[in-house]
Structure 1
Amino acid sequence: MTITQAMVLAAGLGTRMRPITDTMPKPLVPVAGRPMIDYALDVLADAGVTCAAVNVHHFADRVEAHLQAYPRMEILISDERAHLMNSGGGLAKGLRLLEPGLLYVMNADLFWIGEIPGRKTNLQRLAEFFDPATMDMALLCVPLERTTGHNGKKDFQLDPDGRLSRYREGGDNPVVYAGAIVMHSSLFDDAPEDAFNLNIYFDRAIANGRLHGLVMEGHWITVGTPEALPQAEAVIARLPVEV
């Protein structure tokens, strides 16, 4: 199954990245010489995405100008200049720019390296894993020991049947949410029109046994603080990103 559209969440203020983000938007902060958001866009393009909606707020004009020059897919701007919509509200607003159907949701401040050459990408595997009959969302996950830049929090525990539940201390098979989702846009048909957190939909899906997870291949990197930048670049130097 090839999914051709995506929503990229890129409108945050990047407050934890200050003072860097006092003068530039977080999605354009360079990591090993490339804007952070390009890593996310590239993994989407590698998976077959041809159109993505991207929300903008902080230094929105600069982000928009950069996205207009991105060559590998059509970019639609979900404008949050006037009002930030949080993760769930931003996704719901961006969905209005896309066609009804399956899509990827991707955070702009993370990516992964070290996928196995010749095999399907992590996002392609996630698309094949997703079953709308039994799942509201399929989340890409990663064990804590294969992360760089993360705060150490274990987000979920992955059951043997692939279901996710909130991690509880001592639980089996803890995983970190890797910031990528496959879902059908109809899931948000009842979404509020104001700002809300995506965790509301995670918890609803958990309660109904419909949040599932797939463990990614490779090493996951998130860049949320200035201290995470040299850590990310050191990992990239050891295991380069294919571009």
Structure 2
Amino acid sequence: MTIRQAMVVAAGLGTRMRPITDTIPKPLVKIAGKPMIDYVLDMLAEAGVEQVAVNVHHHADQMEAHLRNYRKLEILISDERDALMNNGGGLAKGLKLLDRDPVFVMNADLFWIGETEGAPTNLQRLAGFFDPQRMDIAMLCVTLEKTTGHNGKNDFSMAADGRLSRYSDAAGNGVVYAGTLVMTPSFLDDAPSDAFNINTYYDKAIARGRLYGTMLDGHWLTVGTPEAVGEAEETIRTFRAFA
């Protein structure tokens, strides 16, 4: 399956990144000389995506100006200037700008490096893994030892077939959600029109036995604080030195 559309969640306040985010939106913070959101957009373009919805709120004018100059994708703005919609409400609103085919959903401040050269990309593999007959959502997941900047906690337990449940010590096989998923927009058709947390829909998919994951190839980075910028850049330097 080739997925041609995506939603990038980019409207957050970036409060833990202050004082940097007092004057710039978090997705435009540069890591190794490149805005974080551009890592995400470049990966989507490489995977064959053509159209992307991006939600904006914090320093929205800066976000729109930057996105207007991005040439590899058609970008649609989901405007949340009036009120933040939380991650669920923002996603539900942004998906209305796209069609009903399967869609990638990515966070603007999470990305990865070190994919196997010559192999399908993580996004291409995730698209191929997603089976809407069996799955509501397919997530890209990663083990803790392949993360930089994460809080050290597992999000889910993964069964042998990729089915996910909330992490417990008893279940084991812990994985971290890598901030990237594929879903069919109709899964959110009954979503509220105001702000809500997307975790309610992850739990709904778990209850239906329809939340699945596949493992990331490479190393995953999340940049949530000013100190994490240096950690991410050091990881990137190390990977480039051995490339």
Following TM superposition, by how much is the alpha carbon of 1:89 offset from its aligned partner in structure 2, in angstroms?
Answer: 0.4
TM-fit CA distance, 1:83: 0.5
Q: Which residue of 2 aligns with 1:31?
A: 31
Match of 2:198 in 1: 198
Output the amino acid matched with 1:189.
Answer: D
Instruction: Give the Cα separation in 1 of the matches to 2:46 and 2:173.
Output: 29
Q: Does 1:40 align with 2:32?
A: no
Secondary structure at the residue paired with 1:154? coil
Aligned residues: 241
Alpha-carbon distance in structure 1 between the residues aligned to 2:240 and 2:130: 29
1:217 positional shift:
0.3
1:106-130 CA distance string (max 9 Å, x none)? 0000100010111110011000100
List gaps (5 residues or longer) in structure 2: none
Query: What TM-score do you get using the length of structure 1 for normalisation?
Result: 0.97
Whole-angstrom CA distance in 1 between matches of 2:13 and 2:212: 29
Q: How does 1:124-143 map to 2 (within 5 A)?
A: 124-143=124-143
- Aligned partner of 1:11 in structure 2 is 11
Look up the equivalent residue of 2:150 and give its one-letter code: H
SS in 2 for 1:240: helix
- Give the match's secondary structure for 2:97: coil
- Give the secondary-structure state (helix, strand or coil) at the position aligned to 2:52: strand
Distance of 2:169 and 2:227 partners within structure 1: 27
> Is the 8 Å Cα contact of residues 7 and 91 (structure 1) preserved in structure 2?
yes
Q: Paired residue for 1:117?
A: 117
- Counterpart code for 1:112: W
The amino acid that maps onto 1:108 is A
Aligned residue for 1:107? 107
Query: In the TM superposition, what are the counterparts of 1:214-233 in structure 2 within 5 Å?
Result: 214-233=214-233
Q: Aligned partners of 1:137, 1:240: CA distance in 2, in Å?
A: 33
State the shift of 1:169 in Å: 2.6
Q: Which residue of 2 aligns with 1:73?
A: 73
The aligned counterpart of 1:96 is 96
Give me the whole-angstrom Cα distance separating, in 1, the residues matched to 2:17 and 2:179. 18
Residue 149 of structure 1 contacts residue 224 of structure 1 at CA under 8 Å; is this kept in 2?
yes
Deviations 1:62-121 (A, max 9, x none): 001000101110000000000100111000000111111111000000100010111110
Shift of 1:170: 4.5
Structure 1 runs not aligned, ≥5 long: none
Q: Which runs of 4+ in 1 moved over 6 A?
A: none
1:5, 1:236 → 2: CA distance? Answer: 28
RMSD over equivalenced CA pairs, Å: 1.0
Once residues 61 and 151 of structure 1 are traced to their aligned partners in structure 2, the CA distance between those partners, rounded to angstroms, is: 31
Report the Cα offset of residue 171 of structure 1.
3.2
- Provide the TM-score with structure 2 as the length reference: 0.97
Q: Secondary structure of the equivalent of 2:134?
A: coil
How far apart, CA to CA, are the structure 1 residues paired with 2:161 and 2:74?
A: 37
- Alignment correspondent of 2:235: 235
Which letter does structure 2 place at the counterpart of 1:6?
Answer: A
Q: Does the residue aligned with 1:239 lie in a helix, a strand or coil?
A: helix
In structure 2, C-alpha distance between the alignment counterparts of 1:231 and 1:155, rounded to whole Å? 22
Q: How far apart in 1 are the matches of 2:70 and 2:83?
A: 25
Q: Is the 8 A contact 1:113 1:240 kept in 2?
A: no
Q: Which residue of 1 aligns with 2:57?
A: 57
**SS of 2:105 mapped into structure 1:** strand
CA distance in 2, matches of 1:96, 1:45: 21
Which whole-Å CA distance do the structure 2 matches of 1:27 and 1:106 have between them? 12
User: What residue number does 1:181 align with?
Assistant: 181
